[in-house]
Amino acid sequence: MITTPFTELFGVEHPIAQGGMQWVGRAELVAAVANAGALGFLTALTQPTPEALAAEIERCRTMTDRPFGVNLTILPTLTPPPYDEYRTAIIESGVKIVETAGSNPEPFLPLLHQHGIKVIHKCTSVRHAVKAQDLGVDAISIDGFECAGHPGEDDLPGLVLVPAAADVINIPMIASGGFADGRGLAAALVLGADGINMGTRFLATREAPIHQRVKEQIVANDALSTQLIFRTLRNTARVADNSVSREVVRILGDGGQFADIRELVAGARGRKVYEEGDIDAGIWYASTAQGLIHDIPTVAEVIDRIVSDAEAAIRSKMPLHDAPHT
């Protein structure tokens, strides 16, 4: 067993987290992660209303009696969701762990801490991590350039970002972006992190509530099977390579603006990918870790494998050459 400040703070067995993923962070997956001894997060905005989120929290509780959290990502939009109401639903449901991302978490911290809620804030740079620590968050998730979703604009990979952050962060910190196996966990610990956060690896599990064709596509893809969209808009996002993401890159590269690609990147189209298995229906998120994913096991199998391989790597001080598992 690998014990770190992360496992001790959040009361979990393994230093592994399943971060919030839009349309994916649902009770089936989160409960499976929790039951396997890691920390899973429901995604608040996957649920259409705060009431629906409260119901999903209760549904998750029927599947596990272990700790889990809720991700609340706050982004500037023309028609923002009722963030305060989602926050209230989290508090009233008795959840004790929240992952924040996007905007500055400062306005949310006093009330969350007042109700005994520990806050992990997701950052993409050392300077933002330091600021979040100074604001009083309980833990940091530091996202390298390899990650799915929004890696920030510094383009700094985890091999440099994680130890740079570890030099100045003195609260528990997990590393995110490109992690999928035991070698990654061992490396993250050596670099100064207290655990790892994974998204894409958990997409390709039996419990992930997405279409089987998406899982099989992740296995078929390699580390180069992503596109960086929104680069010219200074809002970079790493997504799976498909006809839609390539078209978005082309339009923006030719001088297009967000209005020109709005319909292509609509969330409803991405949701269709996960629900119907049409890989080219819209934008969907995946990281460079696709190149390390060779099968579709259960969540418990993934976590057990990663922990045992990391322990072996740490003991032997030799690299593990991961081969496809059957």
State what percent of residues in the chain have pLDDT above 90: 94
* pLDDT given for residue 316 in this prediction: 86
Q: What is the pTM of this model?
A: 0.95
149 contact partners, CB below 8 Å, separation of at least 6: 143, 199, 237, 238, 285
> What mean pLDDT, rounded, does the chain reach?
95
Angle at Cα 259 formed by Cα 257 and Cα 263, nearest 5°?
Answer: 125
pLDDT (tens digit per residue) in 267-282? 999 999 999 999 999 9
| Res. 326: pLDDT tops 50 | no
The model's confidence at residue 148, banded by pLDDT at 50, 70 and 90, is very high
Q: Residue 79's pLDDT is what? A: 85
Res. 287: pLDDT tops 90: yes
b/e map 63-87, b = 16+ CB within 10 Å? ebebbbbbbbbbeeeeeebebeebb
**Tens-digit pLDDT profile for residues 25-82:** 999 999 999 999 999 999 999 999 999 999 999 999 999 999 999 999 998 777 899 9
Please name each of the domains of the chain with its CATH number: 5-210+294-316 (3.20.20.70), 226-285 (no CATH)
Instruction: Tell me what pLDDT residue 321 has.
Output: 52
Confidence label for 322 from pLDDT (cuts 50, 70 and 90): low
Q: List pLDDT tens digits, range 90-123.
A: 999 999 999 999 999 999 999 999 999 999 999 9
Cα distance between residue 29 and residue 194, in whole Å: 23
Residue 282: CB atoms within 10 A of its CB come to 22
Whether pLDDT at 323 is above 50: no
Q: Tally Cβ neighbours within 10 Å of residue 53.
A: 25
Nearest residue to 152 (alpha-carbon basis) of 268, 32, 234, 72: 234
What's the chain's length in residues?
A: 326
Average pLDDT over residues 83-88: 96
- Are the C-beta atoms of 286 and 222 separated by less than 8 Å? no
Between the alpha carbon of residue 162 and those of residues 131, 187, 209, 285, the distances in Å are 16, 10, 30, 22
Contacts of 109 (CB under 8 A, 6+ apart): 119, 135, 136, 137
Q: Hey, which residues does 17 pair with through a beta bridge? A: 39, 197
Confidence check: pLDDT of 317 > 80: no
Note the pLDDT of residue 318: 56
> Which residue, among 279, 240, 216, has the nearest Cα to 208 in the 3D structure?
216
pLDDT in tens, 212-239: 999 999 999 999 999 999 999 999 999 9
